[in-house]
Structures are given as C-alpha cells and as structure tokens.
Amino acid sequence: MQTFSPGALACVMHKPARLSGEHMAQTAADILIEILQEWGVDTIFGLPGDGINGIMEALRKKRDAIRFVQVRHEEAAAFMACGYAKFTGRLGVCLATSGPGGIHLLNGLYDAKLDGQPVLAITGMPYHDLIGTFTQQDVELDKLFMDVAKYSVRVMGPTHVENVAHLACRTALLYRGVAHISFPVDLQEREIKGERSKRNIAGHNSELQAHGARLPNDADLAQAADVLNQGKKIVILAGRGALGAGAELERAAEMLGAPIVKPLLGKGSVPDDSPYTTGCIGLLGTRPSQEALESCDTLLMVGTSFPYLEFLPKPGQARGVQIELDPMRIGLRYPVEIGLIGDSRRTLQALLPMLQRHDDRSFLETAQKGMTSWWKMMDEHAAVTEMPMKPQALAAAVNRHLHDDAIVVSDSGTIATWWARYMRVKRGQMYSLSGTLASMANGLPYAIAAQIAHPGRQVVAFVGDGGFSMLMAEFANCVRARLPIKVVIVKNNALGMIKWEQMVFLGNPEYGCELQPIDFAAYARACGGSAFSVEDPRKLDDVIGQAFASDGPAIIEATVDPFEPPLPPKISVDQATRFAESLAKGQPHRGKIALTVLADKVRELV
C-alpha cells in the first residue's frame, strides 16, 4: 500500500530551517505564516472572516508559496486538514475566524484527534483587551479547544508568535494529534519592533526535531517472540498504525501461519488479494475474520485500538502481544502479556528474525478457505440485476473502474459496509474514512484534500445521500478549483445505518430516518460540474465508465434499494430476535424488508 505511518514521519516531515534573529516579515501574522513555511506547510484550508484579517493578508502576500483553499463551511476545512494529514503524513492546517468560525472546526478536529492525525488549527479572537467582556464573537477558543487539542494556546503578543508556532507544529507532528493557536485580531497586524520580555531572549528557541529509535528493547522483543512462537492459532490484527508495514505483516503471517484481520482504518495495510488477509472485522467485516478471532489462541495487535471489544477474543481465551507507538494504549482493548513500544514497521523488522516458522498451516488454511467462500458470496450479491438496484452491485462496479493507484474515501453509515466489503484494496491504492469518530460528512472533504495532495491520481468519494448533503456545498469548490474528483452518491433517501440500528439493536421500528429526496444530478449541474444518474444495475459499468472518464468533477447519483440491510457477518440470536420485534411493532415497509432479508439469506445458502 502507498500509505504513511508514524514511523515514516521523519522521512516525510520537512525539516525547518533555524530562524535567524531577524525576519523579513513585518507583522505578527507574517511571522506565523513564515514559520509554517519552515515546517513544510504549503496548503491551508479555511474560510476568511474579520477575526483573521491579519492572517489572511499575510497569506495573500505568500500566495505563491502557500495555497489557501477556501471552503464553504469551517467543518469541511478541519476534515480536509485531517484528510490531508492521512494521505500525506504531513501537517494538515485549517484556519477559521473568531467565535462561530472556530466552533465549526471542532467536529473535524475531533476526527483528527481520535484517528491520531497531525493537524494545526488556527483561529481568530476578538481584540485582546476586549476578551471576556461580552464583545462581538467573544468565545475563548483556547479554552474551548482544551479537550480536542494536545496543545492549545492564545497568542499574548507579537513576540510570542515565534515560540508558540514552533511548539504547536512540533506537538501536532510528533504527538500525532491536534494543536491550536488562537490569535487576537489586533495582534495579528501588530508590527514587530523587537519588544521582547527580558526572558524571551532571541535565539533560545530551537527548531530541531528529535526522533527516538521507536523500537522496543531486546528483552521485550524476546518475550513477545516466545509468546508468538508458542501459539498454535495466531491472528494478526492490523490497524491504522500498521499502514506502511504491509511487507512486514505478510512476512509475519507467513512465519506464524496467521491470518491478517483488518479494522477499517487498517483496510489499506495489506491488499485484499493477499493470501494472508481475511479482510475487515466488526459489523462491516467478514465472517472468516470474525471466526478467526473467535477461535484463536494468540493475538498479535499491530497499531490498533479497535474499539469493538465484542469482536475480540474473550479475556483468557488468547495470549496477547501488542505493538503500539503510544504507551498509553497498551492493554487498552485486550489484556496482552507484552507490549512493544515502537513504530509498527521497524518493530516487526526487529521481531521477525526471532520468530519460528509454524509448519502447521491448518489455521491459516481454514481462514483461506473461508475467504474463498466469502468472496464467492460477495460476488453473488453483487451480480444481482433485479430492480431496485442493490448497493452491493454499485460498490462492485465502482471497484472495477478504480485505477491501481486510486485514493478511495468513504463516509459513515451503511455506505461504509459496501465500501469495506466490495472495494478490494490493491497495492498502491489508499483508503480512509472517519474511523474512530465515525462522523458523517467527511467523505467529500477528504476527497478534496486527497486530490489537492495528489493531483495526478484518481480520487473517488463513495458517500451516502445523508452524509453528502451535510457538506454538499463543497462540491462547488471542486468545480472552482477544477478538481477531477468523482463523487458516487448511494441514494436510498434514508439514514440507513441509524434505521437498521434502531431495528436490530433495540428492536424498535425506525423513526426519524427518512430523508426528503434531492436531485443530486441537477445539483451537480447547478454547480457547474458533470452529472450522471443510474438506477438500472445492468447500466452500471457504462455509466461509471463514462463518469470516471469525464474531465473535471462529477457526481454519479445511484438510486439503490432502501430496504437492503447491511447484515453483520454473523447474526446473533439477540439481533435476530430484536429485528423480529421491530417488525412486529409496526416497522414501516416491514413486508418489503422481510422479503429482502430473506432473499439475501437464501443467496448465502444456495
């Protein structure tokens, strides 16, 4: 996979040049932008406002060096900064004005926090001597951001900027999280005249970035190898921290006879045609992945904090080894015997020579046979040509038209089920979605950031009508910037995942989940983009082929069966019981739903 891991950070970060005592910049905002340049920042996502006028002027003067990407909503700017970090490994930066502008950033920033992405948020504030006096847009954003950010600071004066800007960039990059600078508007345009406090002495701020070895000690490695060598039925659980360690994961799988199970954020860690992977895990995962975890006696967790404990081995069932860069996360999800603190790729490289090859391949072979059956079943679901069109058929058709280096993003909801199961990862492709936060509306902003970061690559946003409509105005910016993003909208006129959760988890009829239909093709044309519509599964390849071959941004509106359920890989008795209860309580369209579910189960049995 072409991906970026924390261990690769030293390779992808731009090393800043040491500042001399003097700057060519004239204002405090100029210094901020100059320092961002030194940290390799060349793209900032944001929306102008009178609380950041000084920063906007500094950006205007640097417009040949730093690209300002205007958004229609600040939430999109934060999502774009997170997506940019995911697809480049570099610092993502977003900018918003004081008060409501900064508040709007929060959802996208929590996405970055929970998925461990380096993002710097810059916000305005009111005049420094009116803060806390109920003045216009008087929100103390530095305090508001204290939970989402690893570092949140208010600029106290022009000579404060240099120190805090370096520290904010360094914190975001090296601690893999959000940093925040809140900048009072009057201080932004204040000229630098050298009035430092007596302890703020020029030249005492170092821009050196120090990197540890990111390797566990030899004793821990030997203990981990001993646990793994004794295992008979080993599973490797590879999450987002394993991105970039695909070759090492496959070598470990070969040595241990172990299937590689992938949480959603680790979807790109190894390709789906690898003989070692059983695909994703969880409600959106595969049956072989779930069965492997249910029957394993040893678990090797690599760069993952997969939150769904019910899918992990029961405590006491399996011995555990965990590779993790953040010591705080060792033992967070499973009671492992040994934690290896380090970068996934380098730690696996150190561990591999200590592993003994397992000659008994029966556990892996069982998983491989299970995957053969699973893919056969997925192909059968995707081949259904009846109307209304099945979302599985759509996802499979999109997969057939993806380039070998495509970047594919998904939104949250039922859409993620079809993305996880029918988009078969190839080496060289990149995949992501809002993982731990599982926010809706991230799909289009992620795609914009990916296309800006990788202008020569195919970028596809596979989104639902609910999530897309939340930030759909950003499509106009695709047109404006001539970004050739292809947006596939799975239109079922419902908040599909919520509907099924109400039925299957609680046993209640759906309520409040139907959406007023929108003509997304007409919207695309209104924005100046290309529009394609498809309802007949027999026309999928023709329509998608035309759309993907078109110049510029395009929306493909695909109307699908709203009663097609995102069935889990294995249905529990409790889930079946609650589903039946929801139908008995008066679930709307219960007849169609029951027939659809029955038809899906029949396809699995025949």
pLDDT in tens, 61-91: 999 999 999 999 999 999 999 999 999 999 9
536 and 572 together in one domain: yes
Q: Which domain covers residue 279, as residue numbers?
A: 218-369
How many CA atoms does the CB half-sphere of 285 hold within 13 Å?
Answer: 28
Tell me the percentage of the chain whose pLDDT exceeds 70: 88
Confidence class of residue 576 from pLDDT cuts 50, 70 and 90?
low
Q: How is residue 578 written in tokens? A: 């609650």
Does 374 reside within a domain?
no
pLDDT reported for residue 14 = 44
- Domain's final residue, options 166, 188, 210: 188
Q: What is the mean pLDDT of residues 278-307?
A: 96
pLDDT digits 0-9 by tens, 486-541? 999 999 999 888 888 887 777 888 889 999 999 999 999 999 999 999 999 999 99
pLDDT digits 0-9 by tens, 335-348? 999 999 999 999 99
156 and 227 together in one domain: no
Minimum mean pLDDT range among 26-30, 217-221, 570-574:
570-574
For the chain, the helix, strand and coil percentages under 3-state DSSP, each to the nearest 5: 45, 15, 40
pLDDT digits 0-9 by tens, 178-191? 999 999 999 999 98
Best CA proximity match to 288, nearest among 180, 360, 365? 365
| The residue type at 87 | F
Per-residue DSSP letters for 522-538? HHHHHHT-EEEEE--GG
365 and 409 together in one domain: no
Q: What is the mean pLDDT of residues 476-487?
A: 98
| The residue type at 30 | D
345 and 425 together in one domain: no
Pick the residue with more confidence: 145 or 598?
145
Does 193 reside within a domain?
no
Confidence class of residue 594 from pLDDT cuts 50, 70 and 90?
low
Pick the residue with more confidence: 404 or 500?
404
Cβ distance 97 to 122 under 8 Å? Answer: no
Pick the residue with more confidence: 575 or 231?
231
Tokens 């390849």 found at: 541
CB-count burial class (<10 Å; 0-12, 13-18, 19+) for 518: middle
295 and 171 together in one domain: no
- Domain's final residue, options 171, 188, 205: 188
Does 378 reside within a domain?
no
Distance CA 604, CA 446 (A): 35
Minimum mean pLDDT range among 253-257, 259-263, 549-553, 573-577:
573-577
- Domain's final residue, options 307, 340, 369: 369
19 and 69 together in one domain: yes
Tell me the percentage of the chain whose pLDDT exceeds 90: 80
| The residue type at 412 | S
Please state whether the peptide bond connecting residue 6 to the residue before it is cis, i.e. omega within 30 degrees of 0: no
CB-count burial class (<10 Å; 0-12, 13-18, 19+) for 317: middle
451 and 564 together in one domain: yes
Does 210 reside within a domain?
no
Q: What is the mean pLDDT of residues 407-418?
A: 95
Per-residue DSSP letters for 51-114? GGHHHHHHHHHTTTTSEEEE-SSHHHHHHHHHHHHHHHSS-EEEEE-TTHHHHHTHHHHHHHHH
β-pairing verdict for 92-96 and 554-559 = unpaired
230 and 274 together in one domain: yes
Say if residue 391's pLDDT is above 70.
yes
Does 159 reside within a domain?
yes
pLDDT reported for residue 319 = 98
CA dihedral 109, 326, 91, 34 (to 10 degrees): 110
Say if residue 263's pLDDT is above 80.
yes
Does 167 reside within a domain?
yes
Q: What is the CATH number of the domain that holds 295?
A: 3.40.50.1220
Say if residue 19's pLDDT is above 50.
no
279 and 405 together in one domain: no
415 and 442 together in one domain: yes
Distance CA 307, CA 333 (A): 7
Specify the number of domains making up the chain. Answer: 3
Q: What is the pTM of this model?
A: 0.91
Say if residue 592's pLDDT is above 90.
no
Does 195 reside within a domain?
no
47 and 154 together in one domain: yes
485 and 601 together in one domain: yes
Distance CA 530, CA 526 (A): 9
Q: What is the CATH number of the domain that holds 48?
A: 3.40.50.970
pLDDT digits 0-9 by tens, 33-44? 999 999 999 999
3-state DSSP of 366-377: HHHHHHHHHHHH
Pick the residue with more confidence: 412 or 505?
412
Distance CA 606, CA 599 (A): 11
Distance CA 325, CA 530 (A): 44
β-pairing verdict for 430-432 and 319-324 = unpaired
β-pairing verdict for 234-238 and 119-125 = unpaired
Q: Which residues of 568-584 are buried (b: 16+ CB within 10 A; e: fewer)?
A: bbeeeeebeebbebbbe
Does 595 reside within a domain?
yes
Q: How far is CA 226 from CA 339, 342, 443, in A?
A: 13, 18, 43
Say if residue 597's pLDDT is above 60.
no
